[in-house]
Structure 1
Amino acid sequence: MQEPMVFAGTEGETQVSLRDYIRVLYRGRWVILLSFLAVVGATAYFTFRATPIYEATATIMIDTERSPNVGLDFLAPLGMGTRETIINNQVEVLKSRTLAQAVLEELRRQGYDRTFYLFSDGKGRWSLRAKEVENPGDEVLIKRLQDRIKISPRRQTDFIDIKVQAPDPKEAMILANTIAEVYHRWSLEHSREEVRKVKEFLEEQLRKKEKDLVASELALKQYQEEHGVAELSAETEQLVEQLAGFEALYNEAKTKLGEARTRLRYLRSQYADQLRSLDEDMLHVTSPLLEELRDKLAELEATYARLISQNYRDDHPILANLRGQIGHIKEKMRQEIRALVQKGLSVSDPMGYSQALLERIYGLMVEVEADSSRARALGEVVRQYEERLKQVPEKSLQLARLKRAFEVNEKIYIMMKERLEETKITEAGRIGNVFLVDPAREPLYPVKPKKKLNLLLAAIIGLGMGLGVAFLMEYLDTSIHTVEEIEKQGFSVLAWVPRIQVAGRGGEYFMMSERLTSHLEPRSPVSESYRTLRTNLQYARASQALRSLVITSPSPKEGKSTTVANLAIVMAQAGMQVLLVDSDLRRPVLHHLFGQDKEPGLTEVVLGRASPEEVLRSTEVEGLTLLPCGTIPPNPAELLGSEGMHELVRQMGRRYDFVLLDAPPIIVVTDALLLSKEVDGTLLVVRAGQTDRNALLRARSLLDQVGVQAVGVVLNDIDVTGGYGKYYYPYYYYYYYY
């Protein structure tokens, strides 16, 4: 698979192969390895030194069928009691500051503020925490506790998971269970609060009636003893009983009215913040229909009380019909109130929360009005019977009044006790809608740090970073590495030469002499590379055979002198008479390679101070003659471009089979360009991993300017252990050593 890649220093886009990617990875292998080790090592260090974090989970269930919402069961008629809404409400309650404060108080009550990480700076272990620690402020602790809690409702269920993280498994377990228990207790208390207010009201009224009953009983007994009167007449007795019965009904109505008012006060106080946010007019809604219904309700209650006073029994059809009408009127009032509230809150209350709250308040207000109407009607009946009682003789009147007071107090006391017991049963029946399904258990393994995941991510990030740096280095690297890169520049590669391994013994000059691999190790792959170069030069030009050649390079230190020396050796080994001229009058090195004196040499011959025969040196290689550079002149370019140099090259060309000239770098100085005009061809030497592509293009541009075309390029110093050279080195090695 191939994909485009833009190389710096080239025009357009070139296609790269999988081999090029492998070469980039191989070249950047140490960067990739170091990046991988650094990231993985740092991650492992911090991961294994990090404090382990344990997570405990307690599971609770919200019974949405039993109670649509904690303390908000009036939302159900409006659709606010859907399971999703209820669960979301409970999630927010579990996250609330109020609950967190209650949990902290419970933990302090149980003495955990001396042993938990939550109440300290988090240092140490469970077994080392039983000591006094500085207690931070509640706000800090609340924030710290909230950060450790994660509330997760389960989809499509009524279950909620309370997850708590802590540095100690036991602390995590206790925190999770404490949150669940405090929440359950808080939910239970909240659901019973309204009933509790009613119970307190009844208890208070019952205590008062108990005192009244005792006082009325003592007064009746004392009067009977003082006046010797024990019984009333049958007619008076019946009147007293009827009056006591109606007065008991009257007080029962007043008691219900008090209960309704107590519930209403509780609702107003409990949701005072929500009510303050509403328009004042919404708290006093009314309409002609509503006023009409109120009047009708009062009329029906009065009729109901009058019929009772006429000794109609509760199961009488007329009373049953009246009760049905009263219930119907109440329902119509509720519907009218709901319509008025919806109309006023349709825009400002899209979720219906305030609407439901107002409906509950107005519903209680309807009950208050109904109970008030009944109490007024019964009060009127009681007043009528009191007027009839006044017609009793004076002596019996006082006894009748005392007896009536006693019977009324007795009936009211019994009624209130029954109501109180009913309220207690109702309170006990409010068991809440929160159930602890699974208490948290002490976790066995930490959830943080996730060692395997951290190391895996570190390995991926480390490799990714290393690969990124490797490819970035490749993108920024404009040096030449492969034969293909040179060919893409439009050059012909005549040979590539593996890196010469120098032992480095005996000083600099001995090291330089070791570079004559073609003479020292003629069977080596390096020597074969130079023989390949020799063969390719013979066929470089079909129209004209090459007999003289300038070897140069775009920049210094690219191996041109080593290349020309080894090329001269392999040509001489082929039976040619070869002249090797050290024409690098800037930094000559050929005399070092062959162990010859530098002077006299080329400079003396060109200047006419010596004849060629006086300066030519024979070498250890048969057929190879060396012309050293001679004295370094102050003006090398003028010397090499002189007529004397032209004549020398022409004379040596007739005398030898092949003349090789070692010239300075072509970009640095003009010497190579001057010599290129005197010979048959110019050979460029580039060093793998060092020569810049732009430098090679610049060298060709300079040659084009003087009308010279390079016969080819030699890619020198290739690392045969990797990259391009590793694909070919095994073949050379096998062929020449086996």
Structure 2
Amino acid sequence: MDRQPDLRPPLDSELLSASPHLSDYIQVVTRRLWLVLLIFAVTTASAIWAVSRQKTLWRSEMAVQVTDPLERARSLTSPTRVSGMDIFVDPMQSQIEVLQSRSIAERVADELGLRLRRRGTNTVRSELFSDAVVTDEAEPGWYELRYSADGASAALVHAPTGDTVGTADAGEVLEAPGLRFVLKRAPEEFRTYLLEVVPSVAQVASEVRLVGTAREQTNIIDIYLTHEDPELAPKMLGAAARALSEFGARQVRERAESDLEFAEAQLDSARNNLQRSFQKIREFKETEAFTNLTAEEQQLVQRRQDALERLQQLDDQRQALQNLMVDIQAAGVEGVDIVAFLAALPQGVNPQITAIAEDIRDKQDEIQRLLTEERVTPDHPRVQAIRTQLARDEGSLRDAVDRHLQGIDREMAEVRTELDRIQEAQRRFPQLQNRYDELDLQRSIDREMVLYLQSQLYQAQILAQGAGDGFIDVVDPPGAPIEVTPRGKINLMLGALLGLILGVGAAFFLEYLDRTVRTSADVETLLGIPVLGIIPRLRKVDEEDDRRAGLPLIVALDPLDPAAEAYRNLRMNLMFMSTEDEPIRTILFSSPGPHEGKSTTAVNFAVMLAQQGQRVLLIDADLRRPSLHRAMDLLREPGLTNLLVGDAEAREAIRPNVLPNLDMLPSGPFPPNPSELLNSKAMQRLLEELQGKYSHIIVDSPPVLAVTDAALLGAHTDGVVLVLRSGETEQRAAERAVEQLRRVGVRVFGAVLNEVSTSNAEESYYLQYYYGYHPREETGWQRLRSGLSRARFW
């Protein structure tokens, strides 16, 4: 039969551009509802198991006030200097990070002997013993604490060897090699408890889970700790505060020791340089050049030297007093660094100034003590009284300094006048004098360096003395721990929610991996051919009604079955495609692969045509794996193969009236060359001859992709109906099957979507009508099964 291959029909643009509907997503979930429920059940069961094993926890709290350890030490010598911590980092957050560091956790674990821990039952460590100490001599491993029958005493046994390493009565200290703790009475009826000595504190540091939060606009940190041992929790907080304080003190101590060592080394070097300067001056005086001077010249040199020294002393006094006045003007008498002033004050200053300065220092210390130790407010009457006294002292100090500065100015003017007279007299020996001036200048420089380094050494000594003071002040000590109720219900709900999310996610992931043809929309979009029929899954007929083995003849056995109605719909669609100009009389049924229902569809379609009163011939052209003869309970030979090779006549091979108006031509014996037989002239002549005797000829062929028989045989028929199994036929296989048929000029009428489940949301719209009009009487069990099969689960 000469025909042009039909063109692929245009795709529905609305179908391609339509966005997914909510029902599409629900369909994905319901299609794999078993997987969703399985994952949900496993996750929920895991959450229940985890919640059942949750232990009762206890929460302890404390509040501490934190100061910068380096800044506290610096305030003793230079309070106006700004700490680098204040500029570059958040000091409170830094201390919180130190508090939560592994180093602090290990110190706490070591102080409380956490290397000795309870293992096994729900009994916590503090119920068995307290005040544990574990040293490096303790042998790591397992121990058994064996109580006596009355629970009033116990023995500590090394589990691997069975040796008793220590015994004690309740309330007494039990000592063992490297271990020591205060024993308590047995907390319950059990008399043997398992203990473990961990090799290092690093392994138990994770038990110290400190959480710190800084109060806004303050230097106070709230510290929290949650632990299963209510007695141990507050002790761990206290140990953490001590460890943090020691950490800061160690920083200051190391800095102070380093500064002190450096200042001492530099001061020794400066003193040596000063001694060398004095030695050079003495050597200069002892030289012949100096001794040969006249008595008048020697007297002038000595007078100039004394005047320069006195001038330097007066200038040092004035500079120190002027700096003091500048500091008082900038920071007030309460904020001035009197300690540094007294340390740098040269000799010769009016004793009245020194006495007033010492009195001011004492009052500053008193105010600092009231504010820090007694924690009074700045407006407290005692503080205000001391500040009033400081104001009077400030006035006295200013008057004394002004008078002393005036005296210094007068004396310095007199000394300069004296130097001018000496210089006028010394013009007679300038060379010797210049040399002497150089030596004297170097001596002055060395002397200033010694004085400066002495001041630095004094500051370093103050830092070293203050390094031992802690910088952690406990505001609220650890109180009684509060029981923390485990969030069992919330965790269970979260576990169930997680299981639901994982299950739905797994369903969508498998849907993404699924590349099978499931719906009529898939067929029309991918293949560009119409869907002629949607066949539901065929039910199993009763054995007494099904006398034929093999393919289910649901149309013949139960014409009112919903599947039979689906075949009628297929017949209607195919018949409407037939016209007077191009009648459809020979139809080939095939599929991309095996086990997709082509033979079942072909035989039921043939029976449906025969029931309409038309003369129909059913040909089993699957010469490799024939099955129609079993469905009709017929012998396979003679058949189509015999007709093609000329071994039999048509009247011998065709089985008449296997069903009313339906004749059957089985496949016959297996030939060695099926493709050649089906593509032979004999096959073409046979079809043309049979078309004159029958209204319709239905041909069952092998799968398209398995062998070439279907494509070759399709060229001798009016067209092909491609049977696709919903959820089984691969999309790529269906595309290749259609391409292969069109490549050889075979007309593809359309596709039949077979084995469609009623849970398929897109196709159930049609299938529900079939089942809704089904008049069969069903038992209660059958109705229940039918209802469950159509359940939508939403």
TM-score range relative to shorter protein: 0.5 to 0.7
Q: Distance in 2 between matches of 1:735 and 1:139?
A: 79
Aligned-residue offset at 1:721: 3.0
Q: Quick one: which of 507, 516, 529 aligns to 1:470? A: 507
Which residue does 1:152 correspond to in 2? 213
Aligned-residue offset at 1:493: 0.8
Which residue does 1:442 correspond to in 2? 481
Contact persistence 1:493–1:714 (CA under 8 A): yes
Residues 159-170 of structure 1 mapped to structure 2, 5 A cutoff: 159-170=220-231
Q: Distance in 2 between matches of 1:280 and 1:706?
A: 104
Q: Quick one: which of 335, 342, 359 aligns to 1:367? A: 342
Number of residues paired by the alignment?
548
CA shift in 2, pair 1:134/1:47, >3 Å: farther
Q: Quick one: which of 483, 487, 499 aligns to 2:537? A: 499
Contact persistence 1:59–1:440 (CA under 8 A): no
Greater per-residue strand proportion: 2
Q: Distance in 1 between matches of 2:693 and 2:566?
A: 27
Q: Deviations over 1:472-510 (max 9, x none)?
A: 322332211110010012011100100112369699995
Residues 415-454 of structure 1 mapped to structure 2, 5 A cutoff: 431=373, 434-437=473-476, 439-445=478-484, 451-452=488-489, 454=491
Which residue does 1:695 correspond to in 2? 733
CA shift in 2, pair 1:544/1:370, >3 Å: same
Q: Deviations over 1:696-735 (max 9, x none)?
A: 2211222222211211111111112344333332221112
Unaligned stretches of 5+ residues in structure 2:
1-14, 137-198, 271-308, 376-472, 777-794
Aligned-residue offset at 1:673: 1.9
Which residue does 1:35 correspond to in 2? 39
Aligned-residue offset at 1:523: 1.0
Q: Quick one: which of 621, 626, 630 aligns to 1:592? A: 630
Which residue does 1:531 correspond to in 2? 568
CA shift in 2, pair 1:142/1:527, >3 Å: closer
Q: Deviations over 1:411-451 (max 9, x none)?
A: xxxxx9xx99999999798628735236433121256xx54
Which residue does 2:81 correspond to in 1? 78
Q: Deviations over 1:621-675 (max 9, x none)?
A: 3111111112221211222222322222112211111110111111111222222
Contact persistence 1:68–1:82 (CA under 8 A): no
Deviating more after overlay: 459-468 vs 545-554: 459-468
Q: Distance in 2 between matches of 1:95 and 1:652?
A: 94
Aligned-residue offset at 1:737: 2.8
CA shift in 2, pair 1:508/1:135, >3 Å: farther
Say which SS state the counterpart of residue 155 (structure 1) adopts: coil
Q: Distance in 2 between matches of 1:133 and 1:509?
A: 87
Identical counterparts, % of pairs: 29
Contact persistence 1:576–1:623 (CA under 8 A): yes
Q: Distance in 1 between matches of 2:610 and 2:744?
A: 31
Q: Distance in 1 between matches of 2:663 and 2:41?
A: 55
CA shift in 2, pair 1:435/1:51, >3 Å: closer
Contact persistence 1:120–1:133 (CA under 8 A): no
| 1:20 partner amino acid | D
Aligned-residue offset at 1:270: 6.9
Contact persistence 1:268–1:275 (CA under 8 A): no
Which residue does 1:238 correspond to in 2? none
Residues 599-618 of structure 1 mapped to structure 2, 5 A cutoff: 599-618=637-656
Which residue does 1:208 correspond to in 2? none
Which residue does 1:24 correspond to in 2? 28
Contact persistence 1:27–1:723 (CA under 8 A): no
Say which SS state the counterpart of residue 272 (structure 1) adopts: helix
What RMSD, in angstroms, separates the aligned Cα atoms of the two structures? 4.9
Aligned-residue offset at 1:689: 1.2
| 2:560 partner amino acid | R
| 2:63 partner amino acid | T
Unaligned stretches of 5+ residues in structure 1:
1-11, 194-266, 286-290, 301-324, 337-355, 380-415
Greater per-residue helix proportion: 1
Q: Distance in 2 between matches of 1:98 and 1:635?
A: 85
Say which SS state the counterpart of residue 670 (structure 2) adopts: coil
Contact persistence 2:588–2:720 (CA under 8 A): yes
CA shift in 2, pair 1:422/1:282, >3 Å: closer
CA shift in 2, pair 1:423/1:691, >3 Å: closer
Which residue does 1:296 correspond to in 2? 314
Residues 474-489 of structure 1 mapped to structure 2, 5 A cutoff: 474-488=511-525, 489=527
Say which SS state the counterpart of residue 655 (structure 1) adopts: coil
CA shift in 2, pair 1:134/1:423, >3 Å: closer
Q: Deviations over 1:69-120 (max 9, x none)?
A: 6545457533549799664565467568997788678x65xxxx4xxx5643
Deviating more after overlay: 573-582 vs 134-143: 134-143
Aligned-residue offset at 1:333: 8.7
Say which SS state the counterpart of residue 32 (structure 1) adopts: helix
CA shift in 2, pair 1:176/1:635, >3 Å: same
Which residue does 1:393 correspond to in 2? none
Say which SS state the counterpart of residue 38 (structure 1) adopts: helix
CA shift in 2, pair 1:478/1:508, >3 Å: farther
Q: Distance in 2 between matches of 1:538 and 1:712?
A: 13
Which residue does 1:129 correspond to in 2? 128
Contact persistence 1:177–1:440 (CA under 8 A): no
Contact persistence 1:550–1:662 (CA under 8 A): yes
Q: Output the TM-score relative to the length of structure 1.
A: 0.63
Q: Quick one: which of 117, 120, 140 aligns to 2:117? A: 120
Say which SS state the counterpart of residue 575 (structure 1) adopts: coil
CA shift in 2, pair 1:377/1:485, >3 Å: closer
Q: Distance in 2 between matches of 1:500 and 1:326?
A: 112
Q: Distance in 1 between matches of 2:505 and 2:264?
A: 63
Q: Distance in 1 between matches of 2:545 and 2:539?
A: 15
Which residue does 1:711 correspond to in 2? 749
CA shift in 2, pair 1:669/1:506, >3 Å: farther
Residues 250-261 of structure 1 mapped to structure 2, 5 A cutoff: none
Residues 80-95 of structure 1 mapped to structure 2, 5 A cutoff: 80=83, 87-88=92-93, 91=96, 94=99
Aligned-residue offset at 1:175: 2.3
Contact persistence 1:149–1:162 (CA under 8 A): yes
Deviating more after overlay: 421-430 vs 560-569: 421-430
Q: Distance in 1 between matches of 2:339 and 2:639?
A: 125
Which residue does 2:763 correspond to in 1? 725
Q: Distance in 2 between matches of 1:101 and 1:487?
A: 70
Which residue does 1:545 correspond to in 2? 583
Q: Distance in 2 between matches of 1:13 and 1:276?
A: 84
Aligned-residue offset at 1:690: 1.4
Which residue does 1:226 correspond to in 2? none
Which residue does 2:234 correspond to in 1? 173
Say which SS state the counterpart of residue 536 (structure 1) adopts: helix
Contact persistence 1:297–1:329 (CA under 8 A): no
CA shift in 2, pair 1:77/1:727, >3 Å: farther
Say which SS state the counterpart of residue 774 (structure 2) adopts: helix
| 1:707 partner amino acid | G
CA shift in 2, pair 1:663/1:332, >3 Å: same
Say which SS state the counterpart of residue 151 (structure 1) adopts: strand
Aligned-residue offset at 1:31: 2.7
